[in-house]
Structure 1
Amino acid sequence: MNFIKRIFGLEKRDGWSALEAIMLAGAQTSAGIAVSPETALRSPVVLASVRILSEAVGQLPLHLYRRGADGAKERAKDHPLYHLVHDLPNPWTTSAEWRESMMAAVLLHGEAFAHVGRGRGQVIEIVQAKPRTITTDQDAFTGEPVFKATAGDGRTREIPREELFRVRLTGPHPIHPLSLTHEARDAIGLSLAMDGYAGRLFAKGARPSGTISVEDKLDQAAVDRMRESIRLANAGGESGGTMVLENGAKFSALQFSSVDLQFLELRRHQIAEIARVFRIPLHLLQELERATHNNAESMGQQFLSLVVLPWLTRWTQALARDLLNPGRTAGIFL
């Protein structure tokens, strides 16, 4: 693997394989920051967007229904699957936790898998699989998806479709999902770069709050004393302290420049850019500069009908496809 690291110029860190390093290099952005599904969560906008959508799906009740003879429906509480989807998919995970975690994985990776345990033809347990442990390929003859699971020791095995529950965000490929964090990695990387720049700026007190002028030339000892006084008064947690000036030095405060204002505007633009990818209204991300009561209410309604509802449709149809047995669950639906 040494030649691979030389080609890509990679530095291997503790616990990283060469393959993981190559994948990270492939996620490098124009801003010079590598963006992966995990590092994307360092962006407050991505983190908030993922939480908003995953919690919106997780907080809604999930019921199993039975169709009556006259077309009426009632909750099928006596069905074994009802308890799993409504209460506990497995003994250590609640339904809300499971759906929120699965939804977060879909938003970050483009798809999420869960192992489906069956007994006597009935689903008895649903356990979420770790991201990236299950890969999808397409059968060259039938076009059907082929799933393979990778164990911790590197061994792989093919998994039948009946043993998996899968939710994905569809893209141009009929089998592979659309990863939002991968497609929007440049926008996310720029947002992370600006956050890092702002953090370094304030940590070191790099932005001058004003200028100091003197009438006469200072010797090196006076310059050093004044520099230390400025550092102690403005660096890091000491920002806002009192400077001690000498030799008639005068301090003149600086106002925000057009460059400063442009930087703030660019940060607001990146919030909108990332929100556009996840289709999150800006007022839900606490970006209220242009929000009014009327447009916030309207955008909230559009968020439910145009963003949340499509996700609920994906979930409902995926649950019916992977968990309901047509031969044994006639008249049962979600």
Structure 2
Amino acid sequence: MKIPVLSRLLKSRASPKNRLYGSTYTFFFGGTASGKTVNERTAMQTTAVYACVRILAETIASLPLNLYKYTDMGKEKAIDHQLYYLLHDEPNPEMTSFVFRETLMSHLLLWGNAYAQIIRDARGQILALYPLLPDRMTVDRTTDGQLYYEYRKDTGYVILRPEDILHIPGLGFDGLVGYSPIAMAKNAIGMAIATEEYGGKFFANGASPGGVLEHPGVVKDPARIRESWNAVYQGSGNAHRIAVLEEGMKFQSIGIPPEQAQFLETRKFQTEEICRIFRVPPHLVANLDKATFSNIEHQSISFVVHTIRPWLVRLEQGMNKALLRPSEKGQYFVGFVVDGLLRGDYASRMQGYAIGIQNGFLSPNDVRTLENMNTIEHGDIYAMNGNMLKLEDVGAYANTKRKEVSQ
């Protein structure tokens, strides 16, 4: 009796839908309040979006990615496992690990989802990982509640099982399909596109406001005069040329100068808005207005803790779930190495290493490994300062305890 009930529950379960498709697609993309069309490709033509996506994708792709094995002493690299080579060096014959992870991160940041096809042999061992375009993928359920992935190729559609897909979803409403940050923030990005286009047209028109030519009499052929004026004075290459006005004509400016319209301030604010979308400190996209020598290091560390780390956890857990067999999940795990990003200046690092060695939780070889140096003989010894004593053996307290014991 339990099986039919469970079957009905599975059939009645709401199917995960990628809301960027179907009848609601135009709600997310398309027109904006600024009148500009925003999608993943037009957004990348904005310098702030391109810079944020590049910084996040390249930073995460440059971090060492290892497969570890649990041991009695903690963990060690599982270099003998086939998955270690795929993740650390070459996920497929066409890509390096850096390019593969950079591609997945760019998909996550633009579309809100990252997909990769898992190629296995007859024994189920993973042979390669190939990224798939998110805008061609649809996630759905069968009538009995089973997940499946439908990928649109140039020659038709391919149905893929969940075990054949590495899916890293971003922030979403159903926990299965992420939503595009570009779609969610389309108005802010659209305004950035509009201000950039305005600046381009401003210089295309000679870096001077529009205006009118006033004639004291009746102009018989105004179109000819306008075309003649534009041919000589329009465009940034013709800026500052001396105008020659005939028949008593006068030029009257009617435009608003950009400084009065706060054009540059608007562009800076939109850059900060886009940085806010991706949680990237403005100084990383060359906006140094609020950066100082005293706080830029702490901003960089905060960037690692509050921006990079959540993405790393999302990637690690997604890879552990999709790439490890059930029998391996208690023995192996995927992990990024972020120690290099958290290191301070040289003097601070040396002071921290000295404290670690003196207090016995670091060895000289631990320090040399962190500094990318070869280990040395006898460098694995953990030692502590010999002046440290137990409280019961210190001074008057120890003498009082001894007297109590003798009595």
Q: Corresponding residue for 2:236?
A: 236
Counterpart mapping for 1:184-203 below 5 A:
184-203=185-204
RMSD (Å), alpha carbons: 3.4
Query: In 2 relative to 1, CA 230–285 (structure 1 residues): closer, same or farther, beyond 3 Å?
Result: same
Q: 2:62 aligns with which of 59, 62, 65?
A: 59
8 Å CA contact 2:66–2:87 kept in 1: the answer is yes
8 Å CA contact 1:191–1:267 kept in 2: the answer is yes
Q: Corresponding residue for 2:140?
A: 137
Query: In 2 relative to 1, CA 53–134 (structure 1 residues): closer, same or farther, beyond 3 Å?
Result: same
Q: Please state whether the residue corresponding to 1:106 is helix, strand or coil.
A: helix
Q: Aligned pairs, how many?
A: 310
Q: Distance in 2 between matches of 1:326 and 1:155?
A: 30
Q: Distance in 2 between matches of 1:153 and 1:26?
A: 28
Paired amino acid for 1:107: L
Report the alpha carbon displacement of residue 312 of structure 1 after superposing the two structures with TM: 0.6
Report the alpha carbon displacement of residue 306 of structure 1 after superposing the two structures with TM: 0.3
Tell me the TM-score normalized by structure 2: 0.67
Query: In 2 relative to 1, CA 225–39 (structure 1 residues): closer, same or farther, beyond 3 Å?
Result: closer
Report the alpha carbon displacement of residue 125 of structure 1 after superposing the two structures with TM: 0.6
Q: Corresponding residue for 1:182?
A: 183
Q: Distance in 2 between matches of 1:134 and 1:254?
A: 51
Paired amino acid for 2:190: G
Q: Which has the larger radius of gyration?
A: 2
Q: Which has the higher contact order (CA 8 A, sep 6+)?
A: 1
Query: In 2 relative to 1, CA 245–51 (structure 1 residues): closer, same or farther, beyond 3 Å?
Result: same
Counterpart mapping for 1:81-100 below 5 A:
81-100=83-102
8 Å CA contact 1:136–1:146 kept in 2: the answer is yes
Cα deviation 1:13-66 (Å, max 9, x = unaligned): xxxxxx999956862211112211122111111111110110111010111112
Cα deviation 1:193-248 (Å, max 9, x = unaligned): 111122112112263399999xx958969x98899578635523232334446799
8 Å CA contact 2:209–2:257 kept in 1: the answer is no
Counterpart mapping for 1:98-109 below 5 A:
98-109=100-111
Q: 1:80 aligns with which of 82, 92, 100?
A: 82
8 Å CA contact 1:232–1:238 kept in 2: the answer is yes
Q: Please state whether the residue corresponding to 1:291 is helix, strand or coil.
A: coil
Query: In 2 relative to 1, CA 256–134 (structure 1 residues): closer, same or farther, beyond 3 Å?
Result: closer
Cα deviation 1:287-307 (Å, max 9, x = unaligned): 122222223222211111000
> Are residue 121 (structure 1) and residue 124 (structure 2) matched?
yes
8 Å CA contact 1:281–1:303 kept in 2: the answer is yes
Report the alpha carbon displacement of residue 92 of structure 1 after superposing the two structures with TM: 0.7
Paired amino acid for 2:95: T
Query: In 2 relative to 1, CA 132–210 (structure 1 residues): closer, same or farther, beyond 3 Å?
Result: closer
Q: Percent identity?
A: 33
Counterpart mapping for 1:1-334 below 5 A:
23=25, 27=29, 28-68=31-71, 70-119=72-121, 120-138=123-141, 145-157=147-159, 159-205=160-206, 207-208=208-209, 217=216, 228=228, 232-233=232-233, 235-244=235-244, 257=257, 260-328=260-328, 330-334=330-334
Unmatched runs of 5 consecutive residues or more in structure 2: 1-20, 335-407
Report the alpha carbon displacement of residue 271 of structure 1 after superposing the two structures with TM: 1.0
Tell me the TM-score normalized by structure 1: 0.80
Q: Please state whether the residue corresponding to 1:78 is helix, strand or coil.
A: coil
Q: Distance in 2 between matches of 1:181 and 1:139?
A: 30
Q: Corresponding residue for 2:337?
A: none
Q: Please state whether the residue corresponding to 1:107 is helix, strand or coil.
A: helix
Report the alpha carbon displacement of residue 73 of structure 1 after superposing the two structures with TM: 2.0
More displaced 10-residue stretch of structure 1: 108-117 or 287-296: 287-296
Paired amino acid for 2:292: T
More displaced 10-residue stretch of structure 1: 301-310 or 132-141: 132-141
Q: Corresponding residue for 1:9?
A: none
8 Å CA contact 1:116–1:125 kept in 2: the answer is yes
